[in-house]
């Protein structure tokens, strides 16, 4: 049986469909193009496989959702701007370090609960990630670890 989207599962009410489609909550959305990106409601991992300007818009912050955004290639040019849907907001902390710096220089970017965009400045290295969790409707709690080419390239917030 084919996997169904969350909306199809709600309309078919077939237990076998639910079991077959359970993996939808662990689905990977691969982004291979720059520009605007809408993160799917069923995405658990957002794999960003392209360099360049990108604006991922998060799905609605619904309790129990989790989205992990992973840099599969280095973001060497342009910015990556994560945006909330509707009136949702971000809150949390993003940890940053400078690549190759044995001194461990870095920063913690505190994300106030009024934040609606997180701009990751170019020069974010492969393997960096942001985790977005929702345990209060309307708020994405963000944490993550960004490996940057320069300490001055920490994310900006709006």
Chain segment 83-98, per-residue pLDDT in tens: 999 999 999 999 999 8
pTM (2 d.p.): 0.83
pLDDT tens-digit readout, 117-156 = 999 999 999 999 999 999 999 999 999 999 998 878 889 9
Q: What is the pLDDT of residue 1?
A: 44
pLDDT tens-digit readout, 7-42 = 665 555 555 555 555 554 568 999 999 999 999 998
Q: What is the pLDDT of residue 158?
A: 94
Looking at residues 2-11, what average pLDDT do you find?
Answer: 57
Does residue 4 carry a pLDDT above 70? no
Collapsing DSSP states into helix, strand and coil, what is residue 152?
helix
């Amino acid at each position: 049986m084919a996997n169904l989207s969350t909306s199809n599962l709600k309309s078919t009410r077939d237990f076998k469909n639910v079991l077959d489609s359970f993996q939808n909550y662990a689905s990977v959305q691969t982004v291979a193009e720059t520009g605007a990106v809408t993160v799917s409601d069923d995405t658990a991992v957002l794999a960003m496989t392209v360099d360049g300007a990108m604006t991922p818009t998060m799905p609605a912050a619904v309790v129990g959702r989790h989205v992990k955004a992973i840099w599969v290639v280095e973001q060497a040019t342009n910015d990556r701007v994560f945006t909330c849907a509707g009136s949702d907001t971000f809150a949390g902390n993003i940890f940053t370090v400078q690549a190759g710096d044995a001194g461990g220089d870095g920063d913690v970017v505190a994300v106030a609960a009024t934040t609606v965009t997180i701009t990751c400045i170019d020069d974010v290295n492969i393997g960096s990630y942001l985790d977005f969790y929702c345990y209060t409707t309307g708020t994405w709690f963000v944490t993550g670890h960004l490996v940057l080419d320069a300490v001055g390239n920490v994310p900006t917030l709006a």
